[in-house]
Amino acid sequence: MDVTIEESWKAKLNAEFEKPYFKELIEFVKQEYRTHTVYPPGKLIFNAFDSCPFDACKVVILGQDPYHGPGQANGLCFSVNDGIPKPPSLLNIFKELKDDVGTPIPVSGNLERWAQQGVLLLNATLTVRAGEAGSHQKKGWETFTDAVIERINEEKEGIVFLLWGKYAQEKGKIIDKTRHHILEAKHPSPMAAKWGGWFGSKHFSQTNTYLRKLGKPEIVW
C-alpha cells in the first residue's frame, strides 16, 4: 500500500501499512474526507513524520486528537497554524516554557520549529471530523500510533518522552524506561493545570539537560 509519508518513516512502517486494520482505516478516512469536513487537510495527516524524520527524532510529545476548529490543526500535536489564536492548552505550554527557560511567549502557535529540531509531535489519532472531538477515535489510528511508539522504543535509545496527562501516560506504558527518558506531568489544559502538576513541571529544561548529557544538541524551545 503506497502511503505518502517521509521516506525514513515509510521504511520503518511499511509492514504496518499492509495490515488489514490499516487498510480499513484508510478507507474510513477517505470516506470521511469525501463526505464531511475533516481536519487537518489531507496533505498534513502525516505532517508530524514529514517534519521530523526517524533518525532525527530526539524527543516525543504525545497528544490525543487534532484540533477540530477551522484552520487550527496542522498535523502536529498542540500546534496551530500561523495566525490562528492559541488554544488554552497551548497557551499554558508557552506559559510554563517562559517560566522554565525564559523563552518569551511566541506570536505564533505553530510548533514546526520544534519538529524541525527533532521533536516528534504525535497525536494518538491523526484525523478528526470538524466540530466533533474524538470522532475518529477507535478506528485504527491508535493501533498505528502504538506501532510508531514501539518502533522508536525498540530501534532508538535515549529518546525523551514527554507524557502530559493520563491518556498520554497510559499510551506510553510500552516504553522501556531503561532505554529512554520519560517525563510525566498533568495535562496543560486549563482544568487539569488548575489543580496543579503542570506549572512548575520544568520539562523543557529537563529535556535539554538530558540531551546535553548524551552529547545531543539541545532544543531551542
Q: What angle do CA 141, 179, 17 make, to 5 degrees?
A: 25
Query: Please, what is the angle between helix 7-17 and helix 141-155, to 10°?
Result: 120
Residues 172-189 have a mean pLDDT of: 97
Whole-angstrom distance, CA of residue 82 vs CA of residue 90: 13
- The residue to which cell 498533568 is assigned: 186
Cis amide leading into 41 (omega within 30): no
pLDDT at 99: 97
Count CA within 13 A, CB hemisphere, residue 45: 20
Clarify whether 65 is annotated catalytic.
yes
Tell me the average pLDDT across 117-135: 97
Q: What is the pLDDT of residue 193?
A: 73
pLDDT at position 196, please? 84
Predicted pLDDT of residue 184: 97
Give 11-45 pLDDT, tens digit per residue.
999 999 999 999 999 999 999 999 999 999 999 99
Tell me the pLDDT band of 79, cut-offs 50, 70 and 90: very high
**pLDDT over 90 (residue 2):** no
pLDDT at 191 exceeding the cut of 90: no
Q: Which three cell numbers stand for residue 160?
A: 525523551
pLDDT at position 1 is 61
pLDDT for 192: 75
Q: Which helix (H) or strand (E) holds 27?
A: helix 20-35
| pLDDT at residue 169 in the model | 97
Marked catalytic residue, from 50, 55, 65, 99: 65
End-to-end, the C-alpha distance of the chain in Å comes to 36
The predicted pLDDT at position 137 comes to 97
Mean pLDDT across the stretch 99-126? 97
* Domains assigned to the chain: 7-214 (3.40.470.10)
Q: What is the mean pLDDT of the chain?
A: 96
Span 201-220, average pLDDT: 98
Q: Is the pLDDT of residue 83 over 70?
A: yes
Instruction: Please give the average per-residue pLDDT across 48-69, as a whole number.
Output: 97
What percent of the chain stands above pLDDT 70?
100
